[in-house]
Structure 1
């Protein structure tokens, strides 16, 4: 009986490890490779390795735009890719946020390495197609 309990514990541990999502993690402000369309393996992160007190369930890609110079900094943009968690209606979608002097596009996805260079381009293509359909009507 003890042997089967041990096997069950090992199996559960392997399942938990195997079910962890893998994402790219980087920030183009500190690593210019983060803006590339084809990302190097060195940016891959097993999200279960992160100790942030949550279970990571998705990958996130954020494109941030600062439209005005602030604190002596020029207008700029950056790309941030990270592990994330979100149990709201935004899980698996893209959305936009804006505020004084800046804006960002946030895309979340639930497959391994889905926050690569193509996530935003897919959402942009869908957005342009939708706009075209409404304009042509």
Structure 2
């Protein structure tokens, strides 16, 4: 492989990985403080609750905790936040942690706003195809 081809490959791959770096964004709120937190949808990215995760925590996923508290009102609470310690035993990324006085469902997801990725997988395939074609014809 010629040196110029190696440099071209390096530049192309560097460009891809530089553009692939982004900070995770999750909804961050608690319905105890803000009732709007109960009804947020994954496409509500204009919401004030949709924020970049703190870099100091090295967040790797978004978390949603739903609680139904056994009191006279049967209170519902939702807490949304960034997470940094993955619960590996979670089936389908969710698990229950009920007690005598509350029912709780915890979920973790790994994309912005717990919806589709900001870099769709088909874009990676298209990029790799373009690199291969470039290398063949240059």
TM bucket by the smaller chain? 0.5 to 0.7
Runs of 4+ aligned structure 1 residues displaced above 4 Å come to none
Alignment length (residue pairs): 96
**What is the match of residue 99 of structure 1?**
99
Pairs within 5 Å for 1:71-82: 74-82=73-81
Query: Secondary structure of 1:33's match?
Result: helix
Pairs within 5 Å for 1:4-43: 18-38=21-41, 39=44, 40-43=46-49
1:112 aligns with 2:112: yes
**What is the match of residue 130 of structure 1?**
none
Rg (Cα) greater in structure:
2
Choose the corresponding residue for 2:71, options 68, 72, 89: 68
TM-score (norm 2): 0.58
Q: Which runs of 5+ in 1 are unaligned?
A: 1-10, 116-137
Query: Secondary structure of 2:66's match?
Result: strand
The 3 A distance-change label for structure 1 pair 92 and 30 is same
Q: Which deviations, in whole Å up to 9, do the C-alpha atoms of 1:85-135 show, x marking residues without a partner?
A: 2233139601111112112111100001117xxxxxxxxxxxxxxxxxxxx
Contact 1:96 1:104 in 2 (8 A): yes
Choose the corresponding residue for 1:59, options 55, 59, 62: 62
Q: Which runs of 5+ in 2 are unaligned?
A: 1-13, 116-138
